[in-house]
Amino acid sequence: MGCYARGATALGISYRDMDIVVGYGKNTKRNPKKATRNSINMIKEGLSNSKYKNKFLLNLVSGPEIPSMPGLGRKKIIKSGFVSKFAMQAFGISQKLLQKGLGREDEIFEQIANELPDYHIILGALMDDERGLRNYQFLNKDVLTNYTINLGLSMDIDLDVCTTHGMKKTDLNFEITKLNKDKHIIHEINHKPAVPELLRLLDWPEDFLNDKTMYKTILYYPISLKREKREVPIVMPFILKNSIMIPCMIDKGPSSILTMSGNSLVDAMKENLSYFKQINPKFGIGTFCITILETLGNNLNTVREDLLDYFKDKPFLMFVCAGEGTYNPKRSLTYANMSFNTAIFGENKN
């Protein structure tokens, strides 16, 4: 956590009792299933003869890119009903033809976990400085876009993964009652148009959300969404008239407004590291949400000090992302926004 916006960080891994392979797949927004299958096959083949039992995968995926719509440009809030319907269709077309739109990292992550059930996995969706204009993946000497790139490790080192977040439940509970077909757009909350009902719950005036205030307000009030029996915090980055587009697939049912603070995020990182107290760390890899940087402010130094205190003189690297998660073979999968995710490698004290 010592890199800056115009800097670069390199990760190098070398160990005697370890096998390493890289897998990758292209066109993640157009065809995430095929991209994932190609990358997984490379991992399986590359580690098929490994004699080591502990397996880990670092999954870095191209994150969201906001498409530019004729006459509108790149908008996060659309207030016209007619234009919002056009935008919903344009998002789908742009996803397939131009590969602009949602990152679909949650779909990729679920597929990887299903096909590599014995691996510990950590996910990071890549993004620029929150503008959602472009992101890149680097592979050897190539600069790529819309790729999933996986680093697979098979080793004799003990490891574990953990996801925590600083979200606190409020008493603002509601029901998600209508979604679009691909489960990315909330049309109705409590059987009412989603955006007016959300504003009513938050006691915000009708004109409160606009392009200037969006990232200073609604992103700090994520909602708790249930997905295949998992309950996770998810941000709401796009408003389409009365509907809300979110970055992952969701299920209908009970939800609530969440809130957070710099202190609660610091506590979330402390909770995360305390989970690994049974491991003497040799190195660590992590992902955390880009919005956390703004929320932490000066508290970022506190988080950094906690990490340095835990790792001592051992190396670690944290990726700032726009969608994160971990998979543990014993505890299943967690995908979330606004979260800390760590993979710790070392010697088990037990």
pLDDT in tens, the chain (350 residues): 445 556 677 778 888 899 999 999 999 999 999 999 999 999 999 999 999 999 999 999 998 887 766 666 666 776 666 566 666 666 666 666 778 888 899 999 999 999 999 999 999 999 887 777 888 888 888 888 999 999 999 999 999 999 998 888 899 999 999 998 888 889 999 999 999 999 999 998 887 777 777 666 777 788 887 776 667 788 877 787 889 888 888 889 899 999 888 788 899 999 999 999 889 999 999 999 888 877 787 888 889 899 999 999 999 999 989 889 999 998 888 888 889 999 999 988 77
Task: Give the single-character DSSP code of 166.
Answer: -
pLDDT single digits (tens) 43-68: 999 999 999 999 999 999 998 887 76
89 is written with which tokens? 């269709």
Residue 125's identity, in one-letter code, is A
Q: Write down the pLDDT at residue 220.
A: 76
Exposed/middle/buried for 206, CB within 10 Å: 0-12, 13-18, 19+? exposed
Determine the Cα–Cα distance for residues 254 and 288; give it in Å rounded to an integer.
Answer: 26
CB atoms within 10 A of CB 62: 28
Domain ranges of the chain: 18-65+101-165+262-348, 168-259
Catalogue the E-assigned strands of 34-119.
54-62, 77-78
φ and ψ at residue 100, rounded to 5 degrees:
-115, 145
- Residue count (the chain): 350
* Residue 143 structure tokens: 């600069």
Q: Supply the pTM of this predicted model.
A: 0.89
pLDDT, position 2: 47
In angstroms, the CA 54 to CA 284 distance is: 15
Tokens standing for residue 33: 């299933």
DSSP at 70: T
Those residues whose C-beta lies under 8 Å from the C-beta of residue 33, and which sit 6 or more positions away, are 107, 111
Express each pLDDT in 121-132 by its tens digit: 999 999 887 777
CB 201 within 8 A of CB 172: yes
Give the Cα separation of 147 and 169 in Å (integer): 35
Structure tokens at 139: 């592979």
Distance of CA 106 to the CA centre of its chain: 8
The amino acid at 187: H
- CB of 340 closer than 8 Å to CB of 134: no
Distance, CA of 325 to CA of 322 (rounded, Å): 10
Do residues 12 and 88 lie in contact, with contact meaning Cβ atoms separated by under 8 Å?
no
Q: How many CB atoms lie within 10 A of CB 64?
A: 23
Say what the pLDDT of residue 231 is. 74
C-alpha dihedral over 36, 37, 38, 43, to 10 degrees? 90
